[in-house]
Chains A and B, each alone.
Chain A
Amino acid sequence: MSAQELVNQLRSFLPPDAVLYETEDLKPYECDGLSAYRQLPMIVALPHSEEQIVKVLQLCYATQTPVVARGAGTGLSGGALPHAEGVLLSLAKLKQIIAVDPLARTARAQPGVRNLAISEAAAPYGLYYAPDPSSQIACSIGGNVAENSGGVHCLKYGLTVHNILKLRVLTIDGECLEIGGDSLDSAGYDLLALMTGSEGMLGIVTEITVKLIPVPEKAQLVMAAFDDVQKAGSAVANVIGAGIIPAGMEMMDKITIHAVEEFLHAGYDLNAEAILLCESDGSAEEVADEIQRVNAIMQHSGAINISTSHNEAERLKFWAGRKAAFPAAGRVSPDYYCMDGTIPRKRLADVLRGIEELSQEYGLRCMNVFHAGDGNLHPLILYDANKPGELERTEEFGGKILEMCIHAGGTITGEHGVGMEKINQMCSQFGSGELAMFHAVKAAFDPAGLLNPGKAVPELHRCAELGAMHVHRGEQKFADLPRF
């Protein structure tokens, strides 16, 4: 079916302004938060009800047209990158919070609702939605489900998958599935886990029931500076070894500390090689007890400088630097590229050393911010897209960082998703058997492969062409064979 015919068909049930096809109207949709990848879609559809989405899907299914779902477009892996011959299905108009049930501690929301809006709606009841990705003022809950988003508090409070109860999902043929329930578990396979983080490849989420939890009575922050990254890493292990699960545990390296302190004046120690922020929350008694213990552990672990927030303003000031790491990267460099590997924490010093070596090799600076509690590392590679070849060098550098994460026993993506960006590294992380099973799982939901084609899971021939070798825990298969 031609684009014009498809537009006509869509317009038979969608209002004229909900079907876009002129280049200037399509332009805002050409990329998501990863602007290095751009592609104009054939058509953008902006339905405002589940009923309309059903019709869009039925039409696309009947005409074998690819469908790419998009929430707020803040994703960092190109998961919502449009398909040139496809419909970009924007869920931005479905932005109603349907209900908040304070006694049962749940909220039902449409996929286009902003993450933070849920917590705002729950605030009058002393409740909030725990996962807080740094883009939470803009990112949508539907997108959070697609990516299994985390945030700075997920060691204690979990990821999206731990904080949702029920989904309404449409399959590509427009059939509605109710997955999960108002109960804490449901009959049959755990499809709620399978759907979460599936990057729009299995179905279109049209409604989400989330769990709400009580707002902690109090939160307090310890900031500790170290003259050595290894010592900071040990301090994290010591806190956890002492039986403490902090609400948040963040680390910044020297270049980040300097970049943020320069324009924010958060009070960071410029002599430090690494700064740790360790937050405690809960009842006043609990926090007082934990903060005292954390302070002692930091001291014992060799911190050169320790400050504890005495009030909310001071706590927010300490946090402000960490939260400004990305904007700070934008200030010191025309462009930056954010990576997202996870490693076992004990390997941190090795991996940071490796990144430093690569940084020298590629002649590109790299800032490192780290969700230290759960091992999720975000190297920010600084580059200038206007310099020929620099983006390509950056991507290669980034790819090598991810492979290093796999070698360290970790993963190529902790919370941003594979999308388009890390599709090649999937060939290194998984063997052909696992990749084949991922394709089979997709086929169980979407046999024709119309939902978000080409993302998240590479075709096996792509891996073969890349010559990428599957590496597990730093061991190569057939390690005794000579390699050239």
Chain B
Amino acid sequence: MSATIDQYQAIIRAALENKIPLQIRGGGSKHFYGNPVAERHGTLLDMTGYHGIVDYEPTELVITARAGTRLADLEAALDQHGQMLAFEPPHFGAVATLGGCVAAGLSGPRRAAAGSVRDFVLGVRMLDGTGEDLRFGGQVMKNVAGYDVARLMAGALGTLGVLLEVSLKVLPKPAVEATLCLLMDETAAIEKMNQWAGKPLPISATCYTGDQLFVRLSGAEPAVRAARLKLGGEEVQHDAVFWRSVREHTHDFFQPDKQLWRLSVKSTAPSFNLSGEQLLEWNGALRWLCSDSGTDAEIIRQIAKESGGHATLFRADAARAAVFHPLPPALMKIHRALKEKFDPAGIFNPGRLYPGI
């Protein structure tokens, strides 16, 4: 560990004094994500120097690490004890850090079965907008003392504070995993995924792309074997490679020259009639849309809203629309009020989430 909390506090105090915003950054692997407003002015607050695992006891199912710890190092430490981050966070690069993972709040293929990043956050240590060193939550599974500020940090994109340490619940890796592939159209796939999710089956991930439904089974060997017989389909060889490509967006579906929308919706929402290609995950609750840049953001957002969710312009070469779904005024008022409490001078990643936040 080369950086100290004192150094970060000094940078925050200087930023307050000089009224210069801070761009909080881990490895920079998710730098593309969010509105790019503060980019041109502001000081870089590099968290990579604040790294290392603080505490890990496998039988307690809890790991605590500094924010600059590489996600790959964290997962390697867990792997040694047959454990994992059950929300399967996307790295989007070898340099990805724990702090960036929590701040971005993104979860991977196992999310619908196991839960999201925020579901696994147990506690944080952070610096607020005045540089004060604060701890919320803890290192135990059940804790209702005080408001759940720790989980509030997940997905806040650093706009409420600088994460220093995070404690996460971890889980054992399943004994066996197998993936089945079934041919069907999208309507049938949406129905099947939701029906199966309502049955006691060990399904840990689903993905529908190019007329193929991929279903991953995880658990004890007899349970996986029994489920494989119930569901049918062809078994996929080297399935770990497939799921990694979905998680890391290296699958052929994700074309870098197109713009990528992320529609988070009710899992049973019928197929969307939108131009471009779609890939479904999470039993239909997550739909990626790869489209030409001309696609109307308003239409996409309307459809996502009518389907009980929201749409994010996940990747685009130039920001043609706001990245995140606009909030109703009453909710925006609460967001502004919270931002004002945690970061009164508005120095942390201003505008990355919403204008004025």
Contacts and interface: CB of A to CB of B under 8 A. Distances in A.
B331 A191 contact: yes
A241 interface: yes
Contact of B144 (A155, A194, A212, A416): A416
A158 B142 CA distance: 9
A212 B144 CA distance: 23
A1 interface: no
A472 interface: yes
Contacts of B331: 177-179, 188, 191
A183 B111 CA distance: 12
A216 interface: yes
Given A282-B200, A411-B138, A245 B310 contact: no
Interface in B315-357: 324-328, 330-331, 334-335, 337-338, 340-342, 353-354
Interface string A210-250: 00101111000000000000000000011011011100000
Contacts of A414: 140-144
A126 to B, nearest CB: 7
A472 B135 contact: yes
B52 to A, nearest CB: 17
A214 B259 CA distance: 37
A154 B325 contact: no
A441 B59 contact: no
Interface string A146-181: 011010001100110110000000010001111101
B268 A104 contact: yes
B145 A188 contact: no
Nearest to A374: B141
Contact of B116 (A185, A430, A431): A185
B115 A159 contact: no
A283 interface: yes
A237 B57 CA distance: 10
Interface in A100-153: 101-105, 125-127, 147-148, 150
A158 B220 CA distance: 21
B116 A184 contact: yes
A463 to B, nearest CB: 13
A343 B141 CA distance: 9
Contacts of A159: 142
A345 interface: yes
Interface string A357-390: 0000000000000010111100000000000000
Contacts of B58: 241
Given A285-B222, A289-B222, A344-B140, A193 B152 contact: yes
A138 to B, nearest CB: 20
A413 B137 CA distance: 11
Contacts of B334: 177, 191, 444-445
Contact of B199 (A101, A214, A289): A214
Interface stretch (B11-19, B20-28, B168-176, B231-239): B168-176
A278 interface: no
B308 A181 contact: yes
B155 interface: yes
Nearest to A456: B146
Contacts, number: 270
B144 A185 contact: no
The CB with the most chain B CB atoms within 10 A, among A148, A159, A286, A456, is that of: A286
B172 A441 contact: no
Interface in B142-192: 142-149, 151-152, 154-156, 160, 171-173, 175, 191
A213 B56 CA distance: 31
B152 A126 contact: no
Nearest to B331: A177
B114 to A, nearest CB: 10
Contact of B200 (A198, A216, A445): A216
Contacts of A18: none
A243 B82 contact: yes
Nearest to A240: B59
A155 B60 CA distance: 11
Interface stretch (A60-68, A257-265, A298-306, A432-440): A432-440
A105 B197 CA distance: 8
B179 to A, nearest CB: 18
A188 B268 contact: no
Interface in B264-288: 264-268, 282, 285-286
A87 interface: no
A176 B330 contact: yes
Given A159-B142, A283-B201, A342-B141, A240 B338 contact: no
Given A283-B227, A413-B145, A182 B219 contact: no
B62, B128, B308 — most chain A CB neighbours (10 Å): B308
Contact of B57 (A127, A177, A183, A346): A346
Interface in B21-72: 57-62
Contacts of A214: 197-201
Interface in A277-315: 282-286, 288-290
Return the 4 tightest CB-CB contacts between A and B, nearest first: A182-B308, A183-B309, A243-B172, A193-B151
Given A104-B267, A412-B145, 16 more contacts: A154-B142, A158-B115, A181-B309, A189-B155, A191-B331, A214-B201, A216-B200, A284-B226, A286-B222, A345-B60, A346-B60, A410-B140, A415-B144, A418-B144, A418-B145, A440-B342
24 contacts: A102-B198, A154-B141, A184-B116, A189-B152, A193-B118, A193-B152, A196-B148, A240-B59, A241-B59, A245-B171, A285-B220, A344-B57, A375-B141, A409-B138, A409-B140, A414-B140, A433-B133, A437-B149, A441-B147, A442-B147, A443-B341, A444-B334, A444-B341, A457-B146
Interface of B: 57-62, 82, 105, 111-112, 115-116, 118-119, 128, 132-136, 138-149, 151-152, 154-156, 160, 171-173, 175, 191, 194-195, 197-202, 219-223, 225-227, 264-268, 282, 285-286, 307-310, 312, 324-328, 330-331, 334-335, 337-338, 340-342, 353-354
